[in-house]
């Protein structure tokens, strides 16, 4: 798999895919997309990078272990539900903080935090499996 | 654009709970939250194998505290409900906590806390790096979630959470027998989970709701509570949860897999997992589908008798300590099934008390067998012996546990057996009552055999009567593993659990009251239904 063409194109392709996965994640609240599918796209970006340049390069690039990313995602997801404690509402009631930025309204919210959590869990879990499988193959 | 989402225009009060929620009501979700966040933090710390146990034990202690607070609140306020995100059923997911759920959740978290302590010694650096502690804490998210949720599909989700964690714990050492055991365990559980899911799909098709209270109300309004469709659903559920609980025809996965993992993993599994299955049977067949339970009562009784006998005879036939204990888990499941088969308040409170007792005593027994292994380097009864001379106090503790698991007074196993036998005879099921007594008798023999072989006699098989193999020789067998005994980390959890067994045996009033309240809440679910829907 490690042809020159693939190795040259893979970093750019991966970067584009991660960017696109974030777009899918943010678009997801009211339109098709969301944390899960975005996470899958990002995980496949890491997998492609791993196939082309080796697992060690991926591990260096993402700095922390994928399972730690998943753990942080789980933490975010759980924490997003707790915020409604402070407004006397039940667990996981969504809170909205719309802000105006250059005449564009951006709606920050707990569902967004939760979705980012899902994204991180999926990225972490799937890429951890994918990297482990790729490692075995190259041994 | 903002106006599209403003809440002023639509009246949400029909579909949402808009009342302010007291902070104390957050105790309902606190056990799940604490374990999820704890698991996530442990997962992030996976490289730091020194900090991980401390963090996990801290979170498990916090879990015990919030469960205790939750139980006190339930006893104070009656059944309490929180709907996720404010959405009322049938749209939203409700967590509904009654005395039964809160009690089991508390006991389970105490057991998990003890297992966390015990794991400091038995789970080495490799096991920690593979994630024993994150799995343990996340397992508790699944167990507590299953005990506290009021939504049948959500129950399925929590089952999945605890199963995924349990797969991870089962293969922790990555050894061949472990993988073999995990495959058997995994396949059987996947089949059971599928039955559960199919049954839930049919429930949704029939009633259009997944909330337990909602289904219970719609079920009671039906003209024929034992129609073919409902009976199909009932049998599917029974099969699914009987698999999880390791009842008779589908029990073989338990002795095939529970002796393979790290001993503390076996202890947690033996204590918690099968009891979640029993809890689901109680919740579904007594609260939601009482008509189907009556229709299937004879089947339940038959399965209970066969499970009791399988467990007791299996335990008699084994010479491997962990396998023997696995069969005792099955025998205990038979007792709880007997309570469900009889179905009176007395029988159900017996089943609930027995579940509490079984959670504690089975975990304690596995922990004790782990200590036996540390002292003599084997689980084989033929090679054990002479432990009485090496540690008299431990021999006494083991004898207490043996008495408790056999249902002999004055320990915690006695009272639920009294309730169950009493209820069985009062209901005219003499055979069932006799089976419980016979199973207790056979268990006494099996455990007496263990105690005599491992503790009382002088040394391993072949040691002549009256002689004893000195402690020195036995230590040589154990090698370096005996060094682990120095720490209090294995004795403290065993001590806590044994103290609970003795306490519930000598002072059963508190637990009797809890289990009676739990049983009454199932048989007369008015409080449960009112807590979800108000009024009524």
State the helix-helix crossing angle for B263-282 and B152-170, rounded to 10 degrees.
170
Per-residue pLDDT, A1: 63
Asked if the structure places residue B8 within a domain, the reply is no
**Model confidence at B472, in pLDDT bands (50, 70, 90)?**
very low
Q: How many domains does chain A have?
A: 1
Residue A28 has a pLDDT of 85
pLDDT per residue over B109-128, tens digit each?
A: 999 999 999 999 888 888 88
**B44 lies within 8 A of chain A by CB:** yes
Nearest-CA residue of chain B relative to A100? B2
B212-263 pLDDT, tens digit per residue, is 999 999 888 887 766 888 899 999 999 999 999 999 888 888 888 888 889 9
ipTM: 0.91
> Following DSSP, what letter does each residue of A61-119 receive, concatenated?
HH-S-HHHHHHHHHHHHHHHHHGGGGGT--TT---EEEEEETTEEEEEEHHHHHHHHHH
Point out the residue among B2, B21, B39 whose CB comes nearest to the CB of A90.
Answer: B21
Q: Do B47 and A70 touch (CB under 8 A)?
A: no
Mean pLDDT of B17-34: 88
For B43, the closest of A68, A89, A93 (CB atoms) is: A68
Which of A75, A79, A91 is facing B29, going by the closest CB pair?
A: A91
> Whole-angstrom Cα distance, residue B198 to residue B208?
15
8 Å CB contact of B85 and A90: yes
Distance in Å, alpha carbon of A12 to nearest chain B alpha carbon: 29
In chain A, which residues have pLDDT < 50? 139
pLDDT exceeds 80 at position B143:
yes
Touching check for B37 and chain A: CB below 8 Å? yes
Residue B125 parent element (H or E): helix B125-129
How high is the pLDDT of residue B90? Answer: 81
* Closest chain A residue by Cα to residue B88: A90
Q: Which of B374, B163, B175, B147 is nearest to B269 (CA)?
A: B163
Query: Which of helix, strand or coil describes residue B407?
Result: coil
Give the model's confidence band at B351: pLDDT under 50 very low, under 70 low, under 90 confident, else very high: very high
Q: Which domain holds residue B402?
A: 16-533
**Which band of pLDDT confidence, cut at 50, 70 and 90, is reported for residue B482?**
very low
Calculate Rg over the CA atoms of chain A.
17
Rounded to 10 deg, the angle between the B51-77 and B132-148 helix axes is 10
In this predicted structure, the answer to whether residue B393 has a pLDDT above a threshold of 70 is yes
Res. B487 pLDDT band, cuts 50 70 90: low
With respect to residue B244, please indicate whether it lies within any of the assigned structural domains.
yes
Distance from CA of B37 to the nearest CA of A (A): 5
Write out the residue range of the structural domain in which residue A92 sits.
4-138
Q: What pLDDT is stored for residue B57 in this prediction?
A: 95
Q: Report pLDDT digits (tens) over B58-92.
A: 999 999 999 999 999 999 999 999 998 888 888 88
Quote the percentage of chain B above a pLDDT of 70. 93
Q: Indicate which of B44, B86, B168, B171 best probes the interface with A, i.e. most A CBs within 10 Å of its own CB.
A: B44
Q: Of chain B residues 134-173, which have a CB less than 8 A from chain A?
A: 134
Q: Which of B19-23, B77-81, B296-300, B355-359 has the lowest mean pLDDT?
A: B19-23
Q: Shortest CA distance to B104 belongs to which of B350, B256, B267, B272?
A: B272
Q: Is B201 on the interface with A (CB under 8 A)?
A: no
- In a domain, residue B313? The reply is yes
Looking at the 3D structure of chain B, how many domains does it have? 1
Burial of B268 (0-12, 13-18, 19+ CB in 10 A): buried
pLDDT of B9: 63
Interface test with A, best of B3, B6, B16, B21 (most A CBs within 10 A): B21
Asked if residue B314 has pLDDT above 60, the reply is yes
Best A91, A95, A106 residue to mutate vs chain B (most B CBs within 10 Å): A91
Phi first, then psi, for residue B50 (nearest 5°) are: -85, -40
């Amino acid at each position: 798999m490690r042809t020159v063409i693939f190795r040259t194109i893979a970093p750019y392709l991966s970067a584009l895919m991660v960017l696109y996965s974030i777009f899918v994640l943010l678009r997801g609240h009211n339109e098709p997309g969301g944390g899960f599918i975005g996470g899958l796209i990002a995980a496949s970006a890491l997998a492609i990078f791993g196939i082309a340049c080796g697992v060690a390069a991926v591990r260096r690039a993402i700095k922390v272990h994928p399972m730690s990313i998943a753990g942080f995602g789980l933490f975010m997801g759980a924490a997003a539900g707790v915020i409604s404690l402070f407004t006397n509402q039940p667990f996981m009631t969504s809170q909205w903080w719309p802000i105006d930025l250059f005449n564009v309204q951006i709606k920050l919210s707990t569902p967004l935090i939760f979705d980012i959590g899902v994204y991180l869990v999926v990225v972490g879990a799937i890429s951890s499996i994918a990297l482990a499988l790729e490692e075995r193959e190259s041994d | 654009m903002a106006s599209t989402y403003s809440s002023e225009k639509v009246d949400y009060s029909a579909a949402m709970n808009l009342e302010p929620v007291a902070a104390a009501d957050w105790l309902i979700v606190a056990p799940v939250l604490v374990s999820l966040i704890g698991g996530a933090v442990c997962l992030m710390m996976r490289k730091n194998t020194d900090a991980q146990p401390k963090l996990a034990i801290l979170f498990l202690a916090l879990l015990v505290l919030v469960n205790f607070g939750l139980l006190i609140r339930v006893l104070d306020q009656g059944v309490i409900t929180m709907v996720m995100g404010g959405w009322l059923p049938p749209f939203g997911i409700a967590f509904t906590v009654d005395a039964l759920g809160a009690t089991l959740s508390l006991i389970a978290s105490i057991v998990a806390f003890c297992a966390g302590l015990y794991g400091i010694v038995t789970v080495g650096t490799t096991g920690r790096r593979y994630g024993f502690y994150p799995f343990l804490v996340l397992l508790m998210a699944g167990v507590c979630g299953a005990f506290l949720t009021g939504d049948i599909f959500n129950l399925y989700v929590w089952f999945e959470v605890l199963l995924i964690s349990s797969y991870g714990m089962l293969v922790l050492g990555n050894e061949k027998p472990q993988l073999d055991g995990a495959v058997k365990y995994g396949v059987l559980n996947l089949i059971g989970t599928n039955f559960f899911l199919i049954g839930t799909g049919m429930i949704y098709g029939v009633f259009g709701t997944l909330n337990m209270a909602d289904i219970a109300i719609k079920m009671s309004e039906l003209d024929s509570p034992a129609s073919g469709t409902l009976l199909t659903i009932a049998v599917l559920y029974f099969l699914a949860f009987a698999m999880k609980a390791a009842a008779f025809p589908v029990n073989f996965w338990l002795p095939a897999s529970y002796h393979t993992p790290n001993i503390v993993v076996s202890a947690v599994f033996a204590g918690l997992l099968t009891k979640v299955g029993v809890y689901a049977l109680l919740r579904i067949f007594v609260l939601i589908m009482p008509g189907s339970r009556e229709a299937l009562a004879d089947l339940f009784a038959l399965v209970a008798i066969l499970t009791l006998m399988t467990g007791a005879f299996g335990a008699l036939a084994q010479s491997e300590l962990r396998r023997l204990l696995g069969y005792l888990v099955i025998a205990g499941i038979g007792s709880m099934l007997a309570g469900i088969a009889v179905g009176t308040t007395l029988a159900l409170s017996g089943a609930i008390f027995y579940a509490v007792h079984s959670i504690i005593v089975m975990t304690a027994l596995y922990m004790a067998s782990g200590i036996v292994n540390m002292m003599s380097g084997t689980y084989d009864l033929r090679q054990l012996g002479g432990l009485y001379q090496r540690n008299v106090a431990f021999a006494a503790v083991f004898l207490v546990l043996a008495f408790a698991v056999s249902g002999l007074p004055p320990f915690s196993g006695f009272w639920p057996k009294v309730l169950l036998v009493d209820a069985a005879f009062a209901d005219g099921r003499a055979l069932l009552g006799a089976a419980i007594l016979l199973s207790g008798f056979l268990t006494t023999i099996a455990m007496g055999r263990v105690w005599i072989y491992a503790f009382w006699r002088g040394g391993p098989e072949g040691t002549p009567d009256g002689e004893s193999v000195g402690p020195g020789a036995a230590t040589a067998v154990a090698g370096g593993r005996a060094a682990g005994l120095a720490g209090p980390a294995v004795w403290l959890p065993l001590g806590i659990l044994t103290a609970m067994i003795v306490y519930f045996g000598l002072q059963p009033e508190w637990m009797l009251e809890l289990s009676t309240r739990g049983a009454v809440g199932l048989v007369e679910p008015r409080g449960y239904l009112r807590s979800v829907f108000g009024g009524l």
